[in-house]
Amino acid sequence: TDGMNAQDLAKVLHRPAAEIVKKLFMLGVMVNQNQSLEKDTIEILAADYGIEAKEKVQEDIADLDRFFDVADQDEAKLVSRPPVVTVMGHVDHGKTTLLDNIRHSHVTAQEAGGITQAIGAYQVNYNDQVITFLDTPGHAAFSEMRARGANITDITVLVVAADDGVMPQTIEAINHAKAAETPIIVAVNKVDKPGANPDNVTTQLTEYGLIPEDWGGDTIFVQISAKFGKNIDELLDMILLQAEMLELKANPDQRAVGTVVEAQLDQGRGPVATLLVQQGTLHVGDPIVVGNTFGRVRTMTNENGRRIKEATPSTPVEITGLNAVPEAGDRFVVFEDEKTARAAGEERAKRAQDEERARTSHVTLDNLFATM
Ligand code: GDP
Ligand code: MG
């Protein structure tokens, strides 16, 4: 609309230009037919003719973020989805032991025996409810993901060993969770150990604003032994309670969008990516853009390496069929057709390349001047 004058407007509205000028005069705008009009003026005038002057929105095909804008989600289509839980804490405080214990004590009967976890995420069925656990992705990976706006965790379980107390990575984990605005559930671990002092851990954590309910705060604390399976069910109960309070919802009836948990190149299968579906349902065959890569979902497997055909919100799946390896924290979006997906993927790759080139050539110039 920039530079539009009364004459242009007359053409668009199929009215004589003189009439437009007269109308504008009535609205208190004194212009001749060739003077360009303000956007507001055009809108008012158009409205006067019963036309909504909508600016033509140029859709940016390479912009994946717009698909994550849930503000306009139809409330009626939202159904509750499983919580996505990340276990964090200082090294050796028992994260892996806890994840293993949960996984092995809550697999379904048909899966029990001989299961090997194939991907860095899994789901358990507990009291007829599903919980998704992400393997603790190392704090660096976690902050990298967060820096890129990929908040995929709903709840952080903070593991603190009762015989060791709050340590540097404990504090890091608290900061990550706070920055990501995810609620923290404290799992005071190794309470079976002779040197365990759970109260000491609790006292230390109050300094970071994590105060248990019976001390007047609102943080959930559970004293566990990951190794001996003590209070693991209580911890799961608390996760479900916290999840209920968060009222987590998603729309399964749309094209899937979500985030890459991890990705690598497999000798035989090509690029392989573990995706967390966040909205919609992902299907085998879906045309997809993942970060700066694209393709069609060729195969989809769950955490047990079993082939599946579709994945609903909060489900982690491993897919093949991409043209390149995306990065952890990349977003993925299913497109209406393969052609559009390819166009979007190629455009994204090109932009990433241009950015990289601009960045490196800048460095080169700097170096050049520095040596002169
Ligand atoms: P991570 O580095 O946080 O993943 O810690 P791990 O799960 O690898 O555990 C570190 C060590 O602590 C291992 O030797 C575990 O067997 C041990 N451990 C973990 N949880 C417990 C527990 O509840 N009680 C005892 N006694 N040892 C534990
Ligand atoms: Mg570990």
Mean pLDDT of 113-137: 77
Structure tokens at 326: 């995306």
Question: Are the C-beta atoms of residues 157 and 187 closer than 8 Å to each other?
Answer: yes
Give me the count of residues in the chain. 372
Mean pLDDT of 98-127: 72
Report the chain's terminal Cα–Cα distance, integer Å.
49
CA-230 nearest atom, ligand 1: 23
Q: Is the CB of 342 under 6 A from ligand 1?
A: no
What's the confidence (pLDDT) of residue 365?
A: 61
Q: Where residue 114 falls among pLDDT bands split at 50, 70, 90?
A: very low
Give residue for tokens 């976890």: 117
Give the amino acid at 193. K
Which of 92, 231, 232 to mutate to test ligand 1, by most ligand atoms within 8 A of the CB atom?
Answer: 92
The pLDDT of 12-22, averaged and rounded, is 87
Residue in 256, 273, 259 with CA at minimum distance from that of residue 326: 273
Exposed/middle/buried for residue 214 (C-beta within 10 Å: 0-12, 13-18, 19+): exposed
What is d(CA 219, CA 57) in angstroms, rounded to the nearest whole number?
45
- Residue 100 burial (CB count, 10 A): 14
Judged against a pLDDT cut of 60, whether residue 201 lies above it is answered with yes
Which tokens belong to 165? 């107390």
Q: Helix H segments across the chain?
A: 6-13, 17-26, 39-48, 95-105, 138-147, 168-179, 198-206, 232-246, 338-371
Instruction: Give the closest ligand to the alpha carbon of residue 192.
Output: 1
Could you say which ligand is closest to the alpha carbon of residue 226?
A: 1
Cβ–ligand 1 distance for 91 under 6 Å, the answer yes
Q: How many CB atoms lie within 10 A of CB 288?
A: 28
Q: Does the Cβ of 139 fall within 6 Å of ligand 1?
A: no
- Ligand 1 atom 10 nearest Cα: 92
Q: How far apart are CA 270 and CA 54, in angstroms?
A: 45
Binding site listing for GTP: 89-96, 135-139, 189-192
Q: Which residue, by CA, sits nearest to atom 24 of ligand 1?
A: 190
Which of 272, 273, 284, 278 lies closest to 258, judged by CA? 278
Angle at the Cα of 106 from the Cα atoms of 96 and 171, rounded to 5 degrees: 30
Expressed in angstroms and rounded, the spacing between residue 227 Cα and the centre of ligand 1 is 7
In angstroms, the Cα distances linking 284 to 67, 103, 296 are 20, 26, 8
The verdict on the CB of residue 245 being under 6 Å from ligand 1 is no
Comparing 69 with 194, which gets the higher pLDDT? 194
Whether the CB of 189 sits within 6 Å of ligand 1: yes
Region of poorest pLDDT, from 41-50, 235-244, 347-356: 41-50
Q: How far is the CA of 91 from the centre of ligand 2 (A)?
A: 7
pLDDT band at residue 117 under the 50/70/90 scheme? low
pLDDT digits (tens, 9 = 90+) for 239-277: 999 999 999 999 999 999 999 988 999 999 999 999 999
